[in-house]
A and B are shown apart, each in its own frame.
Chain A
Amino acid sequence: MADYSIWIVEYARVVEFANGILKYGDWNTGTTVAPYCYAVLKSADHLAVIDTGYNHAELGEVLAQSYGVTDWQPADVVLKRIGVDPADVDTMILTHNHFDHAGGVEFFPNAHVYIQAREVSKYMWASGLPDRLQWLTTATDPDLMLWLVNRMKRGKLTLLEGESEVLPGVRCVPAHDTHTAGSQYVTLENDRDGRWLFAGDNCYVYENFVGAGGRFTPIGLVFGSVERCVLTMEEMWQYVGEDVSRIVPFHEQKLWERFPTRQFDDLLHVAELSLAAGEPSRIETAAAVG
C-alpha cells in the first residue's frame, strides 16, 4: 500500500539566481528567483524527506552568503507548517551530496539515510587526485561526510548500488555522472494519484523540459556529463508519461503556481501536492502556525 501525502517545503531562496546555471546556455540573460526546497512524504507507516536543506551555520552560512541565499529557516520551523516534527522523520533520501540538499542532515536525528554508494566512492577517488584536480571535490564537504560516518556507525545509513525501492512505492533511481557522480532521483507510485518524480538537481526548472521548442535544455552546472544529463532527463520524461507537472524540481518557483500553496510571513512557501486518506490539508490550517 502506497498512500502518501506529499508536500514541498521551501526553506530558503535565492533572489538573483543566474539563469545560466538554471538552464545551460542562458548566459548573460539575467537572473531568476530560485527557491530552495525539499519534499516530505507521509504515509500511515512512514515519514520521509527527500533532501534536507542546509544548516545556516558554519559552512552553510558562508556558502549561503556566497550564493546570495536569503530568508533561511530551519527544518523545525518549516516542517511545523505541515504538522511534522523533524525527530519523527524515519527516512531520509539524499539526491546528492551538495550543501543545499544534504547540508541539513543533522536536523533529522532519527532518520535512516539512503544515498548512492557512487556519490561517496567517487569523492574518495577524486580526493586522491592531484591538487590541481580538486575542483572535482569542491562542492562537497568533509564535515558532512564525517556526519554520514556517524550514521553508518549506528546502522542508519544504506549505500545504494543502483535502483532500489526504499519504501513502499518509493524508488531511488541512479542518475550517475549527471549533476554529480552519484546523483539519484526519486520516483513515487502513489496509489491515490499515480506517478511523481522528485528530480534532485537533475533539472532545476520546468523549462529544462519544456522551454525550447520541444527540446530539452539541461541544467548549467554539471560535474558529470551533459550527455548523461539529457539522457537522464529522457528517462525521467518517460517515467512521468511526458507530463511535466509530475516532475518536482526543487529550485522551481512555478511550483507555487501549479499546486495549492500557502506563502508565509517570512516569504517562504509550502505546496501541497497530494493528501493521503484522512490527512487534513495543511495549507488551509497552516495559518495557525505561520
Chain B
Amino acid sequence: MTTAVALDGERELQELYGRCKTLALSAAAALILESGVDDLATEAERLHGDCVAAHRTASGLGPQLAACVEASRELSALLAGVAGGAWTDTGLEQARASYRRLRRSVWSVLPCEYVPCCASAHPHTHGEEC
C-alpha cells in the first residue's frame, strides 16, 4: 500500500467514524428529548450504505471499516425501530456495544479525538498528534 493510499484510507475512516459518532449523539439526544427521528433514520440508512461500500472497496483498515459497518447497522436498526414505534432494550444495548467496539477499533489506528487532550503535562499514550 502506498502512503497516499493509506492516507486516503485514514481520511475515509475518519469521516465515517465522525459520521457514526455524531449520528449516535444526535440519536441519543433525540430519544432523550423525545423528538422525531425520521430524518436521523434516513441518514443512518445512508451512512450504513456508505460504510458497506467503503468496506467492500477498502485496501486497508478492514477491521475498522467493518466496525463502522456494524455500528451504523445497529444504529440504523435502532432508529428504524424508534421510527416504527417499537424499540427494545436489546436494540439500544446493541447500538451502544457496537459503538464502543467501533471507538476502540478506530483508536487503535487514529488518535483519540476527545478534548482537552493536553490538559496535563504528560506524554500521550494513544498518539502523538494532539
Q: Which A residues fall within an 8 A CB radius of B?
A: 14, 16-18, 21, 30-31, 58-59, 62-63, 65-68, 99, 117, 120-121, 123-124, 127-128, 131, 134-135, 137-143, 145-150, 152-153, 157, 159, 221
Contacting residues, chain A, for B100 (C-beta < 8 A): 58-59, 143
B55 to chain A, nearest CB (A): 20
A to B CB contacts below 8 Å, 15 in the list: A16-B122, A18-B120, A31-B120, A58-B103, A124-B35, A131-B15, A131-B18, A131-B22, A137-B21, A143-B99, A143-B100, A145-B32, A146-B96, A147-B96, A148-B28
A18 and B119 contact, CB distance less than 8 A: yes
Contacting residues, chain A, for B86 (C-beta < 8 A): none
The 9 A-B residue pairs whose C-beta atoms are closest, nearest first, are A124-B29, A145-B28, A142-B24, A68-B120, A68-B122, A127-B22, A127-B25, A65-B125, A149-B31
Contacting residues, chain B, for A148 (C-beta < 8 A): 28, 32
Kindly state the separation between the CA atoms of A45 and B119 in the bound complex, as whole angstroms: 39
Which positions 108-130 of chain B face chain A at CB distance < 8 Å? 112-122, 124-126, 130
Which positions 9-47 of chain B face chain A at CB distance < 8 Å? 15, 18-19, 21-33, 35
A121 to chain B, nearest CB (A): 6
A152 and B116 contact, CB distance less than 8 A: no
Q: Which B residues fall within an 8 A CB radius of A?
A: 15, 18-19, 21-33, 35, 89, 92, 95-96, 99-100, 103-104, 107, 112-122, 124-126, 130
B11 to chain A, nearest CB (A): 11
Kindly state the separation between the CA atoms of A117 and B34 in the bound complex, as whole angstroms: 12
B22 and A137 contact, CB distance less than 8 A: yes
Partner of B29, one of A17, A18, A120: A120
Kindly state the separation between the CA atoms of A120 and B27 in the bound complex, as whole angstroms: 11
Known A127-B26, A145-B25, A149-B28; judge A21-B116 contact (CB<8 A): yes
A159 and B33 contact, CB distance less than 8 A: yes
B92 and A120 contact, CB distance less than 8 A: no
B124 and A66 contact, CB distance less than 8 A: yes
Kindly state the separation between the CA atoms of A17 and B120 in the bound complex, as whole angstroms: 5
Partner of A149, one of B22, B32, B113, B122: B32
